[in-house]
């Protein structure tokens, strides 16, 4: 299991400062959609230049022109690029093909998908590297979590790795670990804490213990 730090509500200098604090305790850093919308792909470029040893995910949430979008994100230094599960199959295929050519990976975001089981099986066949169950901000506010959806995805996926995102924090981590995703994505569970380094270390430790168990 890997730990991914999601950065959503920061600018580039704040992102660099935050990553520096926790870099020893994370595997992947995600430049979130709000950051890319505000700063552009130069945010990805800046982070990859400053932290070449970390994997960088560009959360561009592609919906169309997938090959082109993947190429742009990869050129900025992204190792992993996101596309929405709601996109056309041809777009998913285009993203996967472009990523493979460039030695990058595709994470498919299942946000707002109603038939999780069917779509996860289709995405697996289409060659997704990661399939991510994602409870967005608005649903988190209604008390929704992703654990059951993750178990559903794991029951049908044969090739893709699984990821989980949305409101995960230290307190809910044991339940996440029980479902054994390949990638655990934590945002505010780290970034909202005063001692971010200590929180990231605590979360990483629990994840590593979970792997052993």
**79 vs 178: CA distance, rounded Å:** 27
| Helix (H) or strand (E) segment spanning residue 176 | helix 173-179
What are the tens digits of pLDDT across the range 132-184?
998 755 555 455 567 788 999 999 999 999 999 988 999 989 989 988 999 99
Residue 14, token pair as written in the block: 């704040």
Q: Are 78 and 56 in contact (CB under 8 A)?
A: yes
Residue 181, classed as helix, strand or coil, is coil
Cα–Cα separations (whole angstroms), residue 85 to 30, 66, 114: 18, 12, 11
**203 vs 3: CA distance, rounded Å:** 8
pLDDT of residue 213: 44
Q: Are 207 and 177 in contact (CB under 8 A)?
A: yes
What are the tens digits of pLDDT across the range 144-156?
567 788 999 999 9
CA 110 from centroid of its chain's CA atoms:
11
Nearest by Cα to 8 from 136, 111, 195: 136
What are the tens digits of pLDDT across the range 76-133?
999 999 999 999 999 999 999 999 999 999 999 999 899 999 999 999 999 999 999 9
């Amino acid at each position: 299991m890997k730990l991914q730090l999601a950065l959503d509500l920061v600018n580039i200098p704040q992102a660099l400062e935050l990553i520096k604090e926790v870099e020893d305790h994370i595997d992947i850093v995600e430049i979130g959609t709000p950051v890319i919308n505000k700063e552009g792909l130069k945010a990805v470029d800046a982070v990859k230049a400053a932290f070449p040893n970390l994997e960088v995910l560009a959360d561009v949430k592609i919906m169309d022109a997938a090959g082109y979008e993947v190429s742009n994100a990869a050129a900025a230094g992204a190792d992993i690029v996101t596309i929405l599960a709601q996109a056309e199959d041809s777009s998913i295929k285009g993203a996967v093909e472009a990523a493979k050519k460039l030695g990058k990976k595709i994470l498919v975001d299942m946000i707002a998908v109603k038939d999780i089981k069917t779509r996860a099986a289709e995405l697996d066949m289409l060659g997704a590297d990661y399939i991510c169950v994602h409870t967005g901000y608005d649903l988190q506010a209604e008390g929704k979590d992703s654990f059951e959806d993750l178990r559903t995805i794991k029951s049908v996926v044969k090739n893709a790795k699984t990821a989980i995102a949305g409101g995960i924090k230290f307190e809910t981590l044991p339940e996440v670990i029980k479902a054994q995703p390949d990638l655990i994505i934590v945002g505010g569970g780290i970034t909202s804490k005063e001692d971010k380094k200590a929180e990231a270390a605590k979360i990483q430790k629990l994840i590593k213990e979970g792997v052993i168990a």
